[in-house]
């Protein structure tokens, strides 16, 4: 019975992650498909770029909330063991991964979504808030130094496993392995950004927060 309930929660987490906030906001309030503009990505960064900072903030917060809410599903249904254990962590990670998968491959939007940065942020905040804050600090410093959102996202992602392995060592092997997986996944999903950075064609962070001139 418990296994069946957990499988249902995995499906629910995926469906939560699949909610395409940037596409919904783009179509409802701006009458456009965000995937047909800017980088073609249905995530917060492209929302900032195409729709402006107000829409971008809403998408960022909602996408992060998706990851956080997915992780909390097991707690809300009293499915997690007490006290916390490796099983406790693995179940949370699986729910978070399901939500991130939904964000990257949303069933509601022909499986074409975002890169998962904001959703993984929500997952990390729910599971390892202290380590996540260190990664956020690395992100902010990187934005100021390099002025690239994509590069800063990858640096923040790389900082997460460094933190849970060495700075704030986690007692959970599953979390440490997951942190490495997230870092590698963010690099893989940002491979087109890497190519644009090398060619000098990547949008600067300062451009993404400017108010959209039209609309």
What's the first-to-final CA gap in the chain, in angstroms? 52
CA 80 distance to own-chain centroid = 23
pLDDT in tens, 145-188: 999 989 999 999 999 999 999 999 999 999 999 999 999 988 99
Among 6-15, 19-28, 44-53, which stretch is predicted with the lowest mean pLDDT?
Answer: 44-53
Tokens of 121: 């942020």
pLDDT interval class at 76 (50, 70, 90): confident
Instruction: Report the interhelical angle of 2-17 vs 53-76 (nearest 10°).
Output: 180
Peptide linkage before 14 cis (omega within 30 of 0): no
pLDDT in tens, 125-150: 999 999 999 999 999 999 999 999 89
pLDDT in tens, 85-128: 898 899 899 999 999 999 999 999 989 899 888 999 999 999 99
In degrees, rounded to 5, the angle at the alpha carbon of residue 208 between the alpha carbons of residues 102 and 26 is: 50
SS3 content of the chain, % helix, strand, coil (to 5): 75, 0, 25
Q: What is the pTM of this model?
A: 0.88
Portion of the chain with pLDDT greater than 70, in percent:
93
- Whether the CB-CB separation of 172 and 84 falls below 8 Å is answered with no
Q: Report how far residue 75's alpha carbon sits from residue 2's, in angstroms, rounded to the nearest whole number.
A: 13
pLDDT interval class at 49 (50, 70, 90): confident
Portion of the chain with pLDDT greater than 90, in percent:
68
């Amino acid at each position: 019975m418990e296994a069946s309930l957990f499988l249902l929660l995995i499906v629910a987490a995926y469906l939560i992650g699949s909610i395409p906030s940037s596409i919904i906001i783009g179509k409802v309030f701006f009458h456009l498909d965000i995937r047909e503009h800017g980088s073609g990505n249905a995530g917060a960064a492209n929302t900032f770029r195409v729709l402006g900072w107000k829409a971008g903030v809403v998408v960022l917060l909602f996408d992060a909330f998706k990851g956080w809410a997915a992780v909390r599903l097991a707690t809300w249904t009293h499915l997690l063991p007490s006290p916390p254990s490796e099983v406790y962590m693995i179940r949370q990670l699986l729910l978070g991964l399901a939500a991130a998968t939904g964000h990257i491959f949303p069933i509601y939007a022909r499986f074409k979504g975002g890169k998962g940065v904001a959703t993984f942020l929500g997952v990390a905040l729910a599971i390892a808030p202290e380590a996540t804050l260190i990664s956020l600090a690395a992100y902010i410093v990187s934005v100021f130094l390099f002025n690239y959102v994509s590069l800063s996202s990858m640096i923040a992602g790389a900082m997460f496993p460094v933190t849970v392995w060495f700075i704030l060592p986690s007692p959970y092997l599953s979390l440490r392995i997951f942190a490495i997986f997230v870092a590698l996944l963010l690099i893989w999903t940002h491979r087109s950004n890497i190519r644009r950075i090398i060619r000098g064609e990547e949008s600067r962070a300062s451009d993404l927060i400017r108010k959209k001139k039209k609309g």
